[in-house]
Amino acid sequence: MIQNIKVAAAQLTPIFLNKGKTVEKACNAISEAGKKGAKLVVFPEAFISGYPDWVWLIPNSKGADLNELYVKLVENAVSIPEVTTDKLCKAAKSAGINVVMGLHERNSETSGASLFNSLLFISDKGKIIGKHRKLIPTGGERLVWSQGAGDSLRSYDTSAGTIAGLICWENFMPLARNAIYESGTQILASPTWDKSPNWLQTMQHVAREGGLFVISTCMALKMEDIPDEYEFKKLYPEGREWINTGNSCIVAPNGQLLAGPLEAEEGILYADINLQDILAAKRMFDVVGHYARPDVFEFRVKNRGK
């Protein structure tokens, strides 16, 4: 078993609705994390190219405004694969680091006009090893993102250990978590938009429940990071500086914070982890092992990927 490795959480600000410049920033961060010795770096939810916070501000009756923003969002979304993913893969290979990237993904298998909130998994060899589409967008997010399928509730063996991902409030879904635990996950990437103290408590609970390491990465975003051309900026309270302060963190299997939370600034968090700590944590409680009770409970995921 791989034992001691360094992992990273990239709490960065995207170049809002600008795919090209955001990817360039992501590649620079991948390079930086690799130089610092990290074997895995996790980016925020929807990092390419920015969280659509207007879904919480603009009512659905404002169709013209929403259409204009949606067109911009789709134009700056990612098809998998494409030139954008090629650049990310090249950066990962050059840095010798595994990458979990949050992005808006176009449904390029059909119309190319609908979007998913997705995670892209890239190996340290520069290969795409998988993707995960968020199962259910929350509240106003349903006006933007489609629902993902259960076939991506799985883990991936990498040079950094066995990794998987759940996006934001998917981490609240007990059955989704159980699917991830059953796949042998050692490190759970949990990109999010949630910056609340309650979220940090959830991350600590998930780490203890699953007996795994959790990397929660959130986007740091200020009012000034959104160009003035976007009228929805005027809907925020006057004098507001931060739209999201981040609060990214890295959590051990015993629920202890190893790094962060990082608040109200950009930065890359690092933590040295020992995967044997997972075995120690599961001696007393292994949720899909000796605590699973298959004689009492039955669990399955429909159309689960291999």
Q: Which one of the listed residues 19, 25, 134, 282 is annotated catalytic?
A: 134
SS3 260: strand
Distance, CA of 238 to CA of 194 (rounded, Å)? 22
Q: Which one of the listed residues 89, 168, 218, 249 is annotated catalytic?
A: 168
Q: Is 32 one of the annotated active-site residues of the chain? A: no
Distance, CA of 193 to CA of 182 (rounded, Å)? 26
The 3-class secondary structure across 201-224, one letter per residue, is HHHHHHHHHHCCEEEECECCEEHH
Kindly calculate the radius of gyration of the chain based on its CA atoms and give it in whole angstroms: 19
Which 8-state DSSP code applies to residue 275? T
- Which residue in 263, 271, 261, 258 sits closest to 242, CA to CA? 263
Q: Which one of the listed residues 45, 105, 141, 170 is annotated catalytic?
A: 45
Q: Is 39 one of the annotated active-site residues of the chain? A: no
Given a contact cutoff of 8 angstroms between Cβ atoms, the answer to whether 40 and 160 are in contact is: yes
If one counts every other C-beta atom within 10 angstroms of the C-beta of residue 22, the result is 23
Which residues are CB-neighbours of 118 under 8 A, at least 6 positions away?
A: 78, 80, 102, 103, 104, 105, 131, 132, 133, 134, 148
Distance, CA of 189 to CA of 237 (rounded, Å)? 32
Which 8-state DSSP code applies to residue 225? G
What's the token pair of residue 195? 């910056």
Distance, CA of 206 to CA of 5 (rounded, Å)? 21
> What backbone phi and psi angles, to 5 degrees, belong to 151?
-70, -15
Distance, CA of 163 to CA of 159 (rounded, Å)? 10
Q: Is 168 one of the annotated active-site residues of the chain? A: yes
Which residues are tagged catalytic? 45, 134, 168
